[in-house]
Chains A and B, each alone.
Chain A
Amino acid sequence: MAFDHIEEASRRTFLKVSAAAGGGMLMTFSVPMTAEAATAADSGPNDLTLNAYVKIAPSGKITIMAKNPECGQGIKTMLPMLIAEELDVDWADINIQQSPVDATKYGSQVAGGSFATPTHWVPIRQVGAAGKQMFVTAAAQTWSCPEGECRATLSKVEHMPTGRKLDYGKLAAKACSLPPPDLKTVVLKDAKDYRIIGKWTTGVDNQKLVTGQKLFGIDVVVPGMKYAVYEKCAVFGGKVKSANVDDIKKLKGVTDCFVVEGQSTDLMGLAPGVAIVGDNWWVINKARENLKIEWDEIGKGDQSSEKFAATAKTLAPKTPANSIRKDGDSAAALKGAAKTVEAYYSYPFLSHANLEPQNCTAHFKDGKMEMWAPSQNPQPGKTLVAKTLGMPEADVTVHLTRMGGGFGRRLMNEYMVEAAWISRVVKAPVKLVWNRADDMAHDPYRPGGFHAFKGGVDAKGNLVALEDHFISYGEGDKYLSAANMTNGEFPARFVKDLTFGSTNMPGGMPTGPMRAPTSNAMSFVFQSFLDEMAHAGGRDPLEFRLEILNRPMIPNPPPPARPGGAPGGGGPGFGGPGFVPERMIGVLQLVAEKSDWKNRDKLPKGRGKGIASYFSHQGYFAEVVDASVDKEGQITVHKVWVVGDVGGQIINPSGAENQVQGSAIDGISQALYGEITFDKGRTVQSNFHDYPLLRMNEAPETEVHFLLSKNSPTGLGEPALPPVIPALCNAIFQATGKRIRSLPIKPEMLTA
């Protein structure tokens, strides 16, 4: 999905206006999310492409259908703000409903990739402005006056010469009989006239959240519902040879227990396992202690993190199997460099660790499946259910629930197909809930990886050569999901002698995108190694980066014929196309100013500041971390300064700041604690005692600034995370002289 197409998409937005059932006006419209969708819709508007709606009731109440899943990114608040602004209504009159999952009606319904802001910014406002225009026309016709004498504001049209006013609700019946204006011709508000956009707007579900109302998937109740647990092989995709299901069935509170044959090839599909069903989740989860299952570990029972690390180490000095990028002659440039540095970096697998464990409620009845799914990506889930159960997709209905965290985890939908299968077997509505250990053991993990770097600086200390041999997971040149690397990783395009290559190791674990996929790892290794090179060249790390960014850019090679990774996995495009060096220079300079970078040498012994920047999801972020390390190697993160350039308008300052603060602390949590390891083919970690998340007492102060540039707004769910990790590692180097080349940062790395 390239961003070049977004403007194109905005020109292909269609609006249809009709009378609403029960009175009032209904505006349905389409926002093509992808170039493909835009092309498909090119023939003209039809019901199939109209994927969102706004209803203006005669009472003046306005209902906006929120089509995208809400996982904490604030989309349910942000998109309606755009419509309400241009429609010119009172935010207090807005009621927001979550739409069901229906590709034919709502088009793409995904929470991922930070795409919602850039793709909706223009078209959604055009729709609002078109609605406002229609109310003005309706009022002018009612008063038999020229439209120029009317103006609309806050759900009313006023006849300026006489001061007469008509509410939108009263005008709705007339307005919906008018032809909608051409969206290309509607006039959008000047930013200075905004009443809603740019104003601190609190989340639309806050009241419900703070009073404990049922919003989440795990809260769903269907009459007659049973609970289910599903035990899968700890070795990914392992098959059930035998299980004592008859013993389990006899246990009190268990109504059913059976083997699901499943399949072993798609780890995000219906994996083999044993289901236990009953009337109380705790009872059936406890019944699992009595399960005796003989598993076929399908030859994967000897995989371990230790072995992967050892293999990577032997591969690193060899010639990469795959070429990712080759500019000039890096070997010759290294030979000619005044100083060279070699360094070997690694980072671990990570679990998404959504606080709400994976769950789904399914009700199979009369050949049809009704589901309630906390999914970021429900449409493929629907397809997966239909395909696995051999049903027509039209017979699967999916309701969206709020999600207790997404972070990319819920782009996968295996919990949906598990719930669906179990419901069909027991012929009852079933709520499947994973326990924490299930969630930790069966995650589409953020893939680990290894990088062998060689870099060279010239006599002035400027970077003149760079080589990276990336050791990842996959087969040949096909990477596991989100285990790939783009050819545009900075400083690619700025160093004329540069080589990126990769070698893949087979890995039998599930992997997938996690918040800022690929970028969350690449930022650590590249921004840390750049810091090493700056020090090798005797240069200030900020000045070193600015010198690189001021060089002429080398064009990107065409994307590889077979890009690795899965949807959302950050394929070519995240690191390269669209990158404007001036924007990165801007955020670097501003973060240096805000964090008093130039005086960092005056910090006490054992305390340091580090800087890093990263471009992902069209967002430019530069961050400085202030951290100290004590004699025991314990790290205290005092403060993080974040400067982001995500365009000229922050739509919801509250949501924006919250996302950025959360991203920064999330990144620090990963750097300090995040580590999933494998042993005997299994995930070692099982809960928050051995997979810790950062807590209140460790959370640093975060100071957030947005550099408003003359660009369209882009998304904020992801791009603030990647730079904080290397900024912390670089601060630790400044504080201790010890270079962090492996995550998570462990105290023993700092005491040795």
Chain B
Amino acid sequence: MAFKIKVNGKTRTADVDPDMPLLWVLRDELDVKGPKFGCGAGLCGACTVHLDGKAVRSCQTPISAVGAKSVTTIEGLAAVSPAGRKLQAAWIAVDVPQCGYCQAGQIMQAADLLAAKPKPTDADINSAMKGNICRCATYTRIRHAIKVAAGLATA
């Protein structure tokens, strides 16, 4: 079945099974590799993208549920999200990544947080970010980078 979806501002088409999760449409059909496969079960957050600005797990979002909503991935975040740009800069300045595999998902989740709560508390950060696993356990720096992006701390 042919689907038309808007990805990072461009209309893209994919002829796939309606059940196919957005993650695999993005990765294998459209060559958008920023969203990562970690668990395939909504448990790790590595696949996080935005649907109309809200963070979703793309491995749990069937293509048929996307409809006219705009899909934003880490590749397109800077173009549409001032908070996203600040987060990316903070991630580099704080030197958050170790292996880096989860970090695109972490940044997408954090951008959703800052859009809703521009000055998040530690409790806000915990509650927004606890669905995103970092196997290298860079949590200390993720928290710090979010605060830097929010203007609550300096790198």
Contact = CB atoms under 8 A, between A and B. Distances in A.
Interface string B1-44: 00000000000000011001101100111010111111111011
A370 interface: no
A356 B36 CA distance: 8
Interface centre among B17, B28, B93 (most CB of A within 10 A): B28
A687 B43 contact: yes
A416 interface: no
A24 interface: no
B126 interface: yes
B38 A702 contact: no
A355 B138 contact: no
Interface string A221-232: 100000100000
A501 interface: no
B106 to A, nearest CB: 9
27 contacts: A202-B92, A205-B100, A210-B74, A210-B88, A210-B107, A212-B104, A218-B33, A218-B36, A280-B16, A280-B24, A283-B20, A354-B135, A355-B38, A355-B46, A355-B99, A402-B99, A403-B99, A404-B99, A404-B100, A658-B138, A661-B137, A661-B140, A665-B140, A666-B136, A689-B43, A694-B137, A702-B140
Interface in A253-290: 253, 279-283, 285
A318 interface: no
B141 interface: yes
Nearest to A437: B40
Interface stretch (A71-79, A541-549, A562-570): A71-79
A325 to B, nearest CB: 34
Nearest to B145: A210
A436 interface: yes
A280 B133 CA distance: 26
B64 to A, nearest CB: 14
Interface in A285-331: 285
Interface centre among B43, B97, B102, B141 (most CB of A within 10 A): B97
A658 B130 contact: no
A693 B95 contact: no
A636 to B, nearest CB: 12
Given A72-B99, A355-B102, A405 B38 contact: no
Given A697-B130, A699-B140, A71 B95 contact: no
Please list the 3 inter-chain residue pairs (A to B) with the smallest Cβ-Cβ separation, ordered nearest first. A212-B34, A404-B101, A72-B99
Contacts of B125: 696
Contacts of B136: 72, 405, 662, 666
A215 interface: yes
Contact of B100 (A209, A221, A285): A209
A227 B100 CA distance: 24
B143 interface: yes
A388 interface: no
Given A353-B135, A405-B136, A693-B133, A206 B99 contact: no
Contacts of A654: 95
Contacts of B78: 211
B129 interface: yes
Interface string B46-65: 10000000000000000000
A689 B137 CA distance: 17
B17 A283 contact: yes
A285 B21 CA distance: 12
Interface string A341-382: 000000000000111110000000000000000000000000
B142 interface: yes
B154 interface: no
A58 interface: no
Contacts of A73: 98
A661 B23 CA distance: 31
Contacts of B35: 212
Q: B interface, by DSSP: helix, strand, loop or mixed?
A: loop
Given A218-B36, A665-B139, A701-B140, A436 B41 contact: yes
A688 B43 contact: yes
A210 B20 contact: no
Interface string A637-676: 0000000000000000011001101111110010000000
A207 interface: yes
Contacts of B101: 216, 355-356, 404-405
Contact of A281 (B28, B33, B38, B88): B28
B92 A206 contact: yes
B137 to A, nearest CB: 4
Nearest to A74: B98
Nearest to A668: B137
Interface residues of B, number: 60
A281 B24 contact: yes
Nearest to A435: B40
Contacts of B38: 355-357, 436
A193 to B, nearest CB: 24
Contacts of B17: 253, 283
B33 A214 contact: yes
A664 B138 CA distance: 10
B28 A405 contact: no
Interface string A189-223: 00000000000101101110111111110110100
A658 B142 CA distance: 11
A406 interface: yes
Contacts of B127: 697
A169 B27 CA distance: 42
Nearest to B90: A210
Given A353-B135, A433-B37, A209 B103 contact: yes
A663 B139 CA distance: 11
B92 A658 contact: no
A665 B137 contact: yes
Interface centre among B31, B107, B140 (most CB of A within 10 A): B140
A695 interface: yes
Contacts of B137: 661-666, 669, 694, 699
Given A355-B46, A405-B136, A687-B39, A212 B98 contact: no
Contacts of B132: 695-696
B109 to A, nearest CB: 10
B150 to A, nearest CB: 15
A658 B73 contact: no
Contacts of B104: 209-210, 212
Interface string A23-38: 0000000000000000
Nearest to A407: B135
A436 B135 CA distance: 14
B133 A688 contact: yes
Contact of B98 (A214, A283, A658, A688): A658
A688 B44 contact: yes
Contacts of A664: 137
A384 B136 CA distance: 28
Given A212-B34, A404-B99, A655-B95, 12 more contacts: A71-B99, A72-B97, A72-B98, A210-B104, A212-B73, A282-B28, A283-B17, A405-B135, A687-B43, A696-B125, A696-B143, A699-B143
Contacts of B99: 71-72, 355-356, 402-406
B49 to A, nearest CB: 10
A253 B24 CA distance: 14
B100 to A, nearest CB: 4
A651 B138 CA distance: 20
Contacts of B92: 202, 206-207, 210
B97 A209 contact: yes
A355 B20 contact: no
